[in-house]
Amino acid sequence: MTGRMEGKVAVVTGAGEGQGRATALLLAREGAHVVAGDISGKQEDTAAQGDGRIVPVQCDVSEADQVEAMIGEAVSRHRRLDILCNVAGIALHNGLVEEESPDTWDRVQDVNLKGIFLGIKYGAPAIVASGGGSILNWGSIGGIIYSGMSPAYSASKAGVISLTRNAAVQYSPKGVRVNCICPGFVITPMIGKTTGPEGRERMIATMSAKSLLGRGTTAEEIAEVALWLSSEAAAFLTGVVLPVDGGWSIRSA
């Protein structure tokens, strides 16, 4: 631990696995006290790896009372909130707009966009009251470029980008930086789960080829970028939408 987050208090959503888990663990290793929210129950496993610096909280980010309680847990325990990482997100459909059910559309928007709105709604005032800090929202290059095959997901992530910029205008003068990280292809254990090892390898090869660097990234690499954006090293950055995609988005521009 190098202590880049010593004395800070953070809330991380989607902390049960993937990028949320990696971010929560890295912030804790760097000295932060972390409240790790997730709907799955896997936040308990994340907390168990946090050397006593992570408190797990059950949270569906689409439910206002649960998000408010999660932020309240951080403030009641530590008397402050410095960092909010809105990581939680889902993708439920890959196909034509006409094939998308209204219920699936609504659920994707509720988690991916409304969830970040609720995080900012309850988190921003707490950070202002603590003297300022950072909100980092998880977008996606799917909100910047469009495959044509994931309309609900792409629309939700484009909304996150717009919400980030609006929140930056509102809260930066109050000492809260608001930025958006847009990962590209992130290699996780879930890839190819239904297709077997050969299908997994084909998918990784296809998606990795879209990057100018010829590979995908990992949750841990994304977490390192998130740590930097949340730290004082990025103190003059706000309203930034940062693709972390190995150049995929400029290849498609």
The catalytic site residues sit at: 153
Residue 179, strand partner residues:
136
Ordered DSSP codes for 100-116: --HHHHHHHHIIIIIHH
Structure tokens given for 202: 């084909």
Length of the chain in residues, anyone? 253
Rounded CA separation 222/133 (Å)? 20
Residue matched to tokens 């730290």: 231
Helix orientation angle between 18-29 and 219-230, rounded to the nearest 10 degrees:
50
How far does Cα 20 stand from its chain's mean position? 6
Residue 7, exposed/middle/buried by CB under 10 A (0-12, 13-18, 19+)? exposed
What's the CA dihedral at 14, 68, 44, 116 to 10 degrees?
0
CA distances from residue 72 to 35, 66, 67, 123, 128 in whole angstroms, order as listed: 10, 10, 8, 9, 14
Ordered DSSP codes for 148-180: SS-HHHHHHHHHHHHHHHHHHHHHGGGTEEEEE
**Backbone region of residue 31 per phi and psi (left: phi > 0; alpha: psi in -120 to 50; beta: other values):** left
